[in-house]
Amino acid sequence: MLMEDVLKHPTRVLSNRQREQFVEEGCLVVEDVADEKWLKRLNQAMQDMVDASREITESDDRFILEEGHGPETPRLRRLSSPVTHHETFWEFASQSKSADVAADLCGPDVKFYHSKLNFKWPKGGHKFDWHQDIPAWPHTDYSPVTVGLYLDDCTSEQGPLLGIRGSHKPPMHSMYDKDRNWTLRIPEEDLPSGWQDDVVELKGPAGSAVIINCRVIHGSAANASDRMRPILLNVYSSADSMPYMANPIPNPYEGAIVRGKPARFSCHDPRGCELPPDWSGGYVGPWQHQSR
């Protein structure tokens, strides 16, 4: 659904001001999207998965490991598709305020796409280069939205997400380098002058959601603190927005309607999208591409 049509519907959980800010800036932090009860369940589910990773020695399609990972010292970059591996994550994605937030930003009929749980381990937890998400998973419109939930407090030292306000509006950057390697990375020299003034730190207490428009330029710094920074990222779109390339993180819930009803017609934004490599043979995660 195009934003002009989304705006014809009243919001469920966001204020009109918050929605206007998202439309203008392309990113937003909303506190209290998960209450204490959800946080307790989600943190337990996360701990179960961290424990399951202790026996893993190489990254696979479930865990992306960070250097130094071992049975006694788990260090993860990502749990891919948490909704596939623990039912609490799917309950949260489909039955909590997270899906209501998505409905306020992509229209009343909301479809689930995929999820990931990104960690930043204390004293390390890699930097994430500036990038735009949608070329990795193009859809027929730009309604897809990521609702990222901080499972613990996130301060400036822990490497919060950073967004560049308003960067979802101009034509998009290429996610390939000049030799046509997919890098999912925008070199800082390619950003418009004065971009630093528009950087916003998307941080907040546990239970806050960081909401990212699929075109907005974002990234994050390394974790300089001695606290972990887990963020649960759920991607939704309006029901009439159709993905047309393989999902890099395939999962049994792709296409599930989590609010409203299924679409009868597809929605098409006239602005085309750069295409990613073919992920159907497997996806290694963004860090490997960015390190090129």
Ligand X SMILES: O=C(O)CCC(=O)C(=O)O
**Out of 96, 220, 234, 247, the residue judged to bind ligand X by CB under 6 A:** 220
Query: Least CB distance from residue 262 to ligand X, whole Å?
Result: 27
What is the number of alpha carbons within 13 Å of residue 41 lying toward its C-beta?
Answer: 13
**Out of 66, 104, 109, 133, the residue judged to bind ligand X by CB under 6 A:** 133
Contact status: 234 vs ligand X (CB under 6 A): no
For residue 252, how many other CB atoms are within 10 A of its CB? Answer: 10
C-alpha dihedral, 238 to 111 to 247 to 1, nearest 10°? -10
Give the C-alpha separation, 86 to 49, whole Å.
8
Contact status: 218 vs ligand X (CB under 6 A): yes
Contact status: 223 vs ligand X (CB under 6 A): no
Residue 175 DSSP one-character state: S
Contact status: 118 vs ligand X (CB under 6 A): yes
Q: x/- binding map, residues 161-190, to ligand X, per CB under 6 A? A: x-----------------------------
Do 173 and 186 touch, CB atoms closer than 8 A?
yes
Contact status: 113 vs ligand X (CB under 6 A): no
Query: How many residues touch ligand X (CB under 6 A)?
Result: 8
The CB-nearest residue to ligand X is 220
Contact status: 75 vs ligand X (CB under 6 A): no
For 48-53, which contacts have Cβ atoms below 8 Å and span 24 or more sequence positions?
A: 48/86, 49/79, 49/82, 49/85, 49/86, 49/117, 50/74, 50/76, 52/85, 53/79
Contact status: 103 vs ligand X (CB under 6 A): no
Residues interacting with ligand X, by CB under 6 A? Answer: 118, 128, 133, 161, 218, 220, 231, 233
